[in-house]
Structure 1
Amino acid sequence: MSDALKTAQNRLSAVASTLTGGFFGSTPQFPAFDDLPKVAGEPQGCIWGFFDQDGERDECGTLNLLTPAVVQAAAREIHSGEHVQLDWPLHNVQFPGFGRKEFHQKKIDLQPSLNFKAMDDEVYINTQSGSQWDSLKHFAHQATGKYYNGLTHEEATQSDTNGIHNWCERGGIVGRGVLVDWLRWYESKNGSAPSAVSRHEITVEDLEETLKWQGTTTKPGDILIIRSGYVRWHNTASELERKSGTQENGIAIGLQGSERSVRWLYSHHFAAVAGDTVAFEAWPPKLDEGFCLHEWLLVQWGTPIGEMWDLEKLSKLCEQKNRWTFFLTSAPLHIQGGIGSPPGAIAVF
């Protein structure tokens, strides 16, 4: 790590250490975006070092916002006990994109070998081919080759640093989920929504209008979830449409990658974000403009990104209850150095 980076991280850690109760006692008050100490070689808005503790480099990013107090408050979202799992069936992506291998399950009859009637199964999954979390070592800043908190690409390939096991060891992901049902809002206003396999950009203004329409407010430490319609499209598409949309073109609806989006996301201080589309942000990103949300969320802030979550039943239950906030629990696969994982996510009302 360079001396300049160490200096910047020490300054951010010093800011953090002045906060009443620290990160694990209360929600920190972040500096304004433009007031964050400059990290050498990184754009304004980088928070490397902000969550470091006792000289140890942080590997959990904004999941540190899920303090016991935040989780206790989130538990008050539970009223009826109804619950919905948000993982898409693993076999659902019939034609994984980006050259990824499809899901495979092998069912094993144990009777011939063990002489009692029983079964096992073995599964193959590419953790990026269905409902997933992106870890903090999944996507680097493409110009610098660095991941969250200054981890280099070479270091990432040779270590477990920034792996998903860190999330599991801190107790998984538990907090208040907030569904921004953009699709339902958009269709109520316009009749029909843009194609999920077009590069339609959902704007911050859209999100704000949807939240207002729902009567929903967000809090620091929330887990933001955006419904864009990708899963609904895939559920009803023909085999040819699925192959074209998921494997041959690699284009998908999502949140706009822009300075406005970056500043809005920073100012809301979400613990994590997720959506039902391929990449959360409109894909492919415009890397040359400097506002690829993967680079900001995963790299600059350490904010996990959930993708291709099944939000259809959740959307219906939220509409039925006229409430778009809920208790959310997620148990990723406990794999040392894990790069992606099915979320194991459940919304509880």
Structure 2
Amino acid sequence: MSEYSSAAARRLSQIGSFFRPNKRAMTIPWNPDSTEFPTRNELPKIEGAPEGAAWVWGKDDFVGRLNLLTPSRVLAASKEIRTGEVVPVNLPLNVPEVPAFERESFQHEIKTLVENAAYDDKYSLNTQSGTQWDGFRHFCHLPSGFFYNNTRGEDIVGPNANHKCSVHYLAEHGIAGRGILIDYLSYVKKNGIEFNPYDHYEISYEDLERCGKDQGIDIRPASKGGDIKIGDIVFIRTGFVEAYYQKPRDERIALARRHSDLSAESGQRWAGLKQEPAMLDWLHDCYFAAVAGDAPAFEAWPTQYGWYLHEHILALWGMPLGEMLDLEGLVKKCREQKRWTFFFSSAPANCPGGVSSHVNGNAIF
């Protein structure tokens, strides 16, 4: 090849690289359109950040893994809409009647504007009292005291409070992408496994892997030959909602009022994902845009290992974490259609300075 031809080829290659996103995210801030991302064990060390922090989208980023919901990925996810059937995943605002972790119950009052002619609603609620997104202000990395992307408690409350990591950034970005349901409750019933959503029970990565195989899903990321795509939103059904409606009212109220603290002996006891390295690897390396479950705590509560998945998911990775979603109608529709993927859309509350939000979510088939 002549020197001219060689130079022209190099130039064409450079032009092509300019118009095509880098295949592998390497330089911070990462390009969200990349098709390969580092594993948890490959994360770059970020000066001033805790070990394992993935604050990789820029110093002023407050949407975290939602960056992965690029227009091209949302467009691809829209192909999941085939019948147009809509399945809401939101509990009524007054369910649970008495929320876990000593949270305030929902209060509703009707205000009369003009008798027999016009009325308003007045709500008093804790955004963590029912179907919820945990925002990045909700739970810090306990050893360092950092919330996501260099946010501190003084940024949230007090004289220097500001909007760093406010939930309104999630609202302004929007949440829409491909959802995938892992139905662990049906798996334990099918296999005769003793299981109580109202007690401490650890669901390991191996448990989820076996459950996925039973459904016909390979829960590994696509980069390893599995069915999980970058930017997917995973939903894990552990059966809390079903159990809530089955229990007598007095019993479920008493269980919700169990003593709450961060010790291994906490009276608040819930089934959920196991705090283990394999679970961390899976949750991180799949590059989910968000994760969600149907229980008061996404992970097994209380932790027996001195750390929480909340710390990694929210503070270190910036991944919205959903709890208390009503997945009962969703699992029924998935069975009817014999598929476990769907389009999902959620509209968090646009509350500047807010910590969390109700989900306001729909699965569309």
TM-score higher than 0.5: yes
Distance across 2 between alignment mates of 1:203 and 1:97: 23
Amino acid at match of 1:232: E
Provide structure 1 residue ranges, at least 5 long, that are not aligned to the other structure: 1-12
Provide structure 2 residue ranges, at least 5 long, that are not aligned to the other structure: 1-24, 218-226, 259-266
- Which residue does 2:64 correspond to in 1? 61
- Which residue does 1:267 correspond to in 2? 285
For residues 252-291 of structure 1, the aligned pairs below 5 Å read: 252-286=270-304, 288=306, 290=307
> Are 1:233 and 2:240 matched, yes or no?
no
Question: Which is worse superposed, 323-332 or 238-247?
Answer: 238-247
Distance across 2 between alignment mates of 1:65 and 1:151: 21
Determine helix, strand or coil for the equivalent of 1:335. coil
Greater share of helix: 1
- Which residue does 1:221 correspond to in 2? 231
TM-score of the superposed pair, with normalisation by structure 2: 0.84
Over residues 53-87 of structure 1, what are the superposed CA-to-partner deviations in whole Å (9 max), with x where a residue is unaligned? xxx42101001000001100110000011111001
- Which residue does 1:198 correspond to in 2? 199
> Are 1:322 and 2:338 matched, yes or no?
yes
- 1:41 CA drift (Å): 6.5
Distance across 2 between alignment mates of 1:35 and 1:236: 45
- Which residue does 1:51 correspond to in 2? 57
- The CA RMSD over aligned residues, in Å, is 1.9
Determine helix, strand or coil for the equivalent of 1:176. strand
- 1:14 CA drift (Å): 6.1
Amino acid at match of 1:51: W
Return closer, same or farther for 1:149/1:286 CA change in 2, 3 Å cut-off: farther
Amino acid at match of 2:234: L
- Which residue does 2:73 correspond to in 1? 70
- 1:156 CA drift (Å): 2.5
- 1:94 CA drift (Å): 1.4
Distance across 1 between alignment mates of 2:77 and 2:245: 31
Amino acid at match of 2:280: V
Determine helix, strand or coil for the equivalent of 2:191. helix
- Which residue does 1:156 correspond to in 2? 156
- 1:110 CA drift (Å): 2.0
- 1:193 CA drift (Å): 4.6
- Which residue does 1:8 correspond to in 2? none
- Which residue does 1:7 correspond to in 2? none
TM-score of the superposed pair, with normalisation by structure 1: 0.88
Distance across 2 between alignment mates of 1:14 and 1:78: 33
> Does the 8 A contact of 1:34 with 1:44 survive in 2?
no
- Which residue does 2:4 correspond to in 1? none
- Which residue does 1:337 correspond to in 2? 353
- Which residue does 1:92 correspond to in 2? 95
Runs of 4+ in 1 over 6 A off after TM superposition: none
Distance across 2 between alignment mates of 1:193 and 1:124: 38
Over residues 238-266 of structure 1, what are the superposed CA-to-partner deviations in whole Å (9 max), with x where a residue is unaligned? 12221222222321110111111111111
> Does the 8 A contact of 2:39 with 2:281 survive in 1?
no
- 1:155 CA drift (Å): 1.9
Determine helix, strand or coil for the equivalent of 2:111. strand
Which of 106, 109, 117 is 1:106 aligned to?
A: 109
- 1:42 CA drift (Å): 5.3
> Are 1:251 and 2:269 matched, yes or no?
yes
- Which residue does 1:117 correspond to in 2? 117
- Which residue does 2:27 correspond to in 1? 15
Distance across 2 between alignment mates of 1:315 and 1:181: 7
Determine helix, strand or coil for the equivalent of 2:87. strand
Distance across 2 between alignment mates of 1:151 and 1:224: 26
- Which residue does 2:14 correspond to in 1? none
- Which residue does 1:3 correspond to in 2? none
Determine helix, strand or coil for the equivalent of 2:75. helix
Identity %: 39
Over residues 79-129 of structure 1, what are the superposed CA-to-partner deviations in whole Å (9 max), with x where a residue is unaligned? 0111110010011111122222100100122224xxx61111111110011
Distance across 2 between alignment mates of 1:240 and 1:250: 16
- Which residue does 1:211 correspond to in 2? 212
Return closer, same or farther for 1:207/1:27 CA change in 2, 3 Å cut-off: farther
Determine helix, strand or coil for the equivalent of 2:120. strand
Which of 30, 50, 54 is 2:37 aligned to?
A: 30
Number of aligned residue pairs: give it: 322
Amino acid at match of 2:364: V
Distance across 2 between alignment mates of 1:123 and 1:73: 38
Which of 186, 189, 196 is 2:188 aligned to?
A: 186
- Which residue does 2:15 correspond to in 1? none
Amino acid at match of 1:30: F
> Does the 8 A contact of 2:50 with 2:144 survive in 1?
no
Question: Which is worse superposed, 301-310 or 137-146?
Answer: 137-146
Return closer, same or farther for 1:188/1:60 CA change in 2, 3 Å cut-off: same
Return closer, same or farther for 1:278/1:209 CA change in 2, 3 Å cut-off: same
Distance across 1 between alignment mates of 2:248 and 2:39: 47
Amino acid at match of 1:327: F
Distance across 1 between alignment mates of 2:41 and 2:295: 31
Determine helix, strand or coil for the equivalent of 1:197. coil
Distance across 1 between alignment mates of 2:249 and 2:106: 16
